[in-house]
Structure 1
Amino acid sequence: MSSSASVTWPPSLWAATAPAGPVLPALEGEVQADVVVIGAGFTGLSTAIHLREAGVEVTVVEAAEPGWGASGRNNGQVIPTLAGHDPSAMVARHGEAGERFNAVLRDSAQYLFDTVRKYDIAAEAEQAGWVQPVHSPGRFRLAEQRVREWSTIDAPVELLDRATTAQMTGSEAWYGGFWNRSGGHINPLALARGLAEVALKRGAVIFARSPVASMTRQGDRWRVKTARGSVTARALVLATNAYTDEFESGLAPEIAAEVVPVLSWQMATQPISDNIAKTIIPGRQAMSDTHRELYFARWDARNRLVTGGAAVFPGAGGTNLRGPVAERLKRLWPQLGEVSFDYVWSGYVGMTPDDVLKPQVPGYPRIHQLGPNGFGWVGCNGRAVALSISLGRELALATQGVPLRTLGLPLSQLKAQPMRGLIRKIAPLALPLYRSLDAREI
């Protein structure tokens, strides 16, 4: 895609309902800035806002449009945890930096909703909480462990017995679980576009339709080049995650090599009548359970259930999901009757499996110092909505020289994923393995 090309938006629910984004120029010519940010998703836009609030000049360079990538395509669940890892695991991995990261993560959902309220962003935000039901009796121990661990660091979590879980979800399918009162859900594309408007109003410069071809260190400055221009800056933030090599393979090959982009499919039902909707997740919490073949759902502002799944066959896309996901919803909530979907779309999740032999096990986020005054991160593993807004704040502070020992940025060494290309191709075929693991009691 050249810098002058138009951007095709996937026909998602969010693209159909979010307010229009700002009209932005492409990058042409030579530009100077104090900080340059690559990527106008949640992380990049949050970084830009925090820098402008501190009076720092910042230029954001986006390959497509704000929210075009994962930030505008996800399910919109605001979840203040990592997938598969509790606080003690992060401390075991990173020590005191892990403790600081845990505090950032613990508060990340609250921080997102506070940000939406502070700037009055029309993101259909509902801070109704996030529920994680468990799908077998033995897995109730997972809920107990997670509540115990997160309670230790003062997270607003609560253990749910089977009856309470049934009441909260409107389904008898689960055996208990836990919930975090600070979570919820948003229209993610509306949030991304709203953040872009906030950044612009505070004086940030955002260039769109300008894929970055390279980022290099020249003397004491960073230089970011596109097909038609460049930005030279004292500091740099790379905020491209799963889309790092989507437009230009040479942008940051070492970063791109450690994240596996995996397609996640989202699906939105037709609007559900009020009398039925009030019996399904009646408190309107975000919900995602303990299946590896994740069962998840949330309401949008128009009474659509927004759920999703993983395609079994490479290239099949969401066409092979409508029937199975509809049957799943009917098993969970028989009162739905026949289920049809108005929207089916996909986006990449940035996975960082720490064991190449166990790609089904989520890894940890990878936060890097790329050089003097240069930072970036990849590896959301499906939990970036809340985390990325808070990491934008931390990355903005890092570029201003705030000591890393005070920030929630546990740095990692670059670690390429062996057989990354193969894992990316066979990832959809892991679904039978997920189902086998889900069927085993623990």
Structure 2
Amino acid sequence: MAVTWPPSLWAHVSPPGPDLPMLEGDVTTEAVVVGAGFTGLSTALHLREAGIPTVVVEAAEPGWGASGRNNGQVIPTLSRHDPAAIIARHGDAGLRFVHVLRDSASILFDLVRRHDIAAEAEQAGWLQPVHTPGRMKIAERRVKDWGSHGAPVELIDRARMRDLLGSEAWFGGWSNSSGGHINPLMLARGMAQAVLTAGATIYARSPAQKVEHRDGRWVVQTARGTVTARALVLATHAYTGEFSRELAPEIAKEVVPTLSWQMATQPIGHNVAGSIIPGRQAMSDTHGELYFTRWDARGRLVTGGAVAIPLNQAARLRPMIAARLQKLWPQLGEVSFDHVWSGYIGMTPDYFPRLHRLGPDGYAWAGCNGRAVALSVALGREFSRAVQGTPETELGLPFTRPTPIPLHGIARRVAPLMLNLYRWRDAREV
């Protein structure tokens, strides 16, 4: 494998996924999906529900990458852009994308319920508290903007946010009741089993080396075989260039794979836990250096952080994030972490995701910018509709051409230093 990651909390507590074969030999099908994360698995599941023969090719195992290593928050928004900005950029396609994004959390939770997937799913809502008084203007704008498109949002004043979070640290904010959280690795593995049950084939430990369109068909080449299909969905995201530089170099170079660190405390006693986010909502605030926290199913707070210099990051994060939690929730007392792990998220310079039509019946996207749990599952449904022939004018997919980042290798090395800019901005009022 291209990268070896530290074991996560999710890997420690989740049942193993299905036993899957490697791709050996040549296979022909109607649709081929590259990548068995949330997008790829959702696409395959929706295609099989429509009766379309489908093969999934995965470089490692389902959920090995970002889909199984994230914090598990199910958030139906982008990280930086709200409906007005999305529509200004993409027009009518942007409006349809806003509606997909608005419904993305419910699409995920409905899929979990429909297929009875054990994913520790809690649709308890999502909170975004503001960390300075002036940032209530952000909350007000977002409630107005998302509310005008039918999202279940609510403005929250400081006193009520204090009660919802059990902390005096924030100054109000807003909520979306359709959000929540899941165990992401359990979700990925459960979706993989649902895909198999629906009649698709998943090949694991079979990194795609090259994809090309020839003689009217898409051909995915691995070390030991090929898959030939009418339609292709490339769902490799931040890992597009990690196993093969030839796979889709333009897409690989339009995102910056950035380390995201997650951390889980030891289980918190019930007497204290009841005073911290008692409604069990997911929470992520308005810091650029994001403060985010949610409960897991075993009484742990799952949070995370970042450091600018890539040296002994896990060891340096432990005391820093422990001090942060103690400041936010003094009732915690001493904080220690059972699990600290990391993985890539795909960042774009403008924080917009990139969605592409690669050719006839060929599609891809990248650039989650840290908000892809709900969106990935929802986009899988949209890519399935595209493969089935739904007109582009009816899809929530604002297609653009790939835009590689100049001096991409340098951008990857300097990206962690952006943390210092985020901290400077976080300290300023707006």
* Fold shared, TM-score > 0.5 on shorter chain: yes
Q: Which SS does the other structure have where 1:158 is aligned?
A: strand
Task: Indicate conservation of the 8 Å contact 2:105/2:375, yes or no.
Answer: yes
Task: Indicate conservation of the 8 Å contact 2:347/2:367, yes or no.
Answer: yes
Structure-2 separation of matches of 1:419 and 1:344: 31
Find the partner of 2:182 among 186, 189, 195: 186
Structure-1 separation of matches of 2:334 and 2:416: 27
Q: Which SS does the other structure have where 1:44 is aligned?
A: helix
Which sits farther off after the overlay, 422-431 or 196-205? 422-431
Structure-2 separation of matches of 1:14 and 1:413: 36
Structure-2 separation of matches of 1:432 and 1:262: 15
Which sits farther off after the overlay, 432-441 or 41-50? 432-441
- 1:10-89 map, 5 Å: 10-89=6-85
Structure 2 residue ranges without an equivalent (≥5):
none
**Residue 360 of structure 1: aligned partner:** none
- 1:28-427 map, 5 Å: 28-354=24-350, 363-427=351-415
Structure-1 separation of matches of 2:390 and 2:244: 31
Q: Which SS does the other structure have where 1:10 is aligned?
A: coil
Instruction: From the superposition, tell whether residues 80 and 217 of structure 1 become closer, same or farther in structure 2 (CA, over 3 Å).
Output: same
Task: Indicate conservation of the 8 Å contact 1:314/1:425, yes or no.
Answer: no
Question: % of aligned pairs identical?
Answer: 67
**Residue 357 of structure 1: aligned partner:** none
- Which residue identity lines up with residue 100 of structure 1 in the other structure? R
Structure-1 separation of matches of 2:332 and 2:7: 25
Residue deviations 1:126-167, cap 9 Å, x none?
111000000001000000000000000010000000001100
Give the superposition deviation at 1:412. Answer: 1.0
Q: Which SS does the other structure have where 1:349 is aligned?
A: strand
Give the superposition deviation at 1:318. Answer: 1.8
Give the superposition deviation at 1:9. Answer: 6.4
Give the superposition deviation at 1:423. Answer: 2.0
Q: Which SS does the other structure have where 2:140 is aligned?
A: helix
Structure-1 separation of matches of 2:204 and 2:292: 33
Residue deviations 1:361-408, cap 9 Å, x none?
xx1111000011000100110000000101000001111111011010
Q: TM-score, normalised by structure 2?
A: 0.99
Q: TM-score, normalised by structure 1?
A: 0.96
Q: Which SS does the other structure have where 1:192 is aligned?
A: helix
Structure-2 separation of matches of 1:186 and 1:318: 23
What is the root-mean-square deviation of aligned Cα atoms in Å? 1.1
Structure-1 separation of matches of 2:266 and 2:410: 37
- Which residue identity lines up with residue 383 of structure 2 in the other structure? L
Residue deviations 1:213-258, cap 9 Å, x none?
0001111000000000000000100000001011111111011010
Give the superposition deviation at 1:311. Answer: 2.1
Task: Indicate conservation of the 8 Å contact 2:209/2:222, yes or no.
Answer: yes
Residue deviations 1:161-189, cap 9 Å, x none?
00011000110000000000000000000
Structure-1 separation of matches of 2:250 and 2:177: 38
Give the superposition deviation at 1:316. Answer: 3.0
Give the superposition deviation at 1:430. Answer: 2.1
How many corresponding residue pairs? Answer: 430
Task: Indicate conservation of the 8 Å contact 2:265/2:301, yes or no.
Answer: yes
Structure-1 separation of matches of 2:393 and 2:272: 51
Structure-1 separation of matches of 2:320 and 2:394: 47
Structure-2 separation of matches of 1:304 and 1:129: 18
Task: Indicate conservation of the 8 Å contact 2:118/2:186, yes or no.
Answer: yes
- Which residue identity lines up with residue 68 of structure 2 in the other structure? G
Give structure 1 regions of 4+ aligned residues with deviation exceeding 4 angstroms.
Answer: none
Structure 1 residue ranges without an equivalent (≥5):
355-362
Which sits farther off after the overlay, 8-17 or 278-287? 8-17
Task: Indicate conservation of the 8 Å contact 2:5/2:342, yes or no.
Answer: no
Structure-1 separation of matches of 2:280 and 2:360: 45
